[in-house]
Amino acid sequence: PPDVEQLGRATWTFLHTTAAYYPEKPTPNQRANMLTLIRSLPVLYPCTHCASDFGEEVKKSPPDVSGRVGLSRWLCERHNEVNEKLGKSKFNCAVEKLDERWKDGPDD
């Protein structure tokens, strides 16, 4: 079985980074592909209990693929649901905090 922690860190890195660089105004094709990417996780993610819990959360909170700010926040909230389940601290989902972590890096 996969290393669930290492797989998780790698997957969150991919997802948050992709959201941070997603267009402000995505084309219909970009939106459709982002929806497909998100909806693939409950089907394909190789931690099966992670995948099915994530699928339930996505049903409760449909993905916001309208643009990078909405998508980044949506994903942050889903990640916080996992953090809460695992007893980890929650991340501040303000776009400035998300961009600092996943796009721009800290000011210096």
- The distance of closest approach from Cβ of residue 92 to ligand FAD in the complex, given in angstroms and rounded to an integer, is 9
One residue of 30, 37, 53, 100 binding ligand FAD per CB under 6 A: 53
Interacting residues with ligand FAD between 80 and 99 (CB under 6 A): 80, 82-83, 86, 88, 91, 98
Q: How many CB atoms lie within 10 A of CB 71?
A: 24
Measured CA to CA in angstroms, residue 9 lies from 31, 39, 65, 105 at distances of 24, 19, 22, 18
Measured CA to CA in angstroms, residue 5 lies from 10, 11, 53, 84, 91 at distances of 9, 10, 16, 15, 17
Give 23 or 56: the residue with its C-beta nearer to ligand FAD: 56
101 near ligand FAD, judged by CB under 6 A:
yes
The binding track of 11-50 with respect to ligand FAD, each residue x by CB under 6 A or -, is: xx---x------------------------x-------xx
Residue pair 42/58 in contact by the 8 Å Cβ criterion = yes
Structure tokens at 69: 């700010």
The footprint of ligand FAD (CB under 6 A) covers 4-5, 8-9, 11-12, 16, 41, 49-50, 53-54, 76, 79-80, 82-83, 86, 88, 91, 98, 101
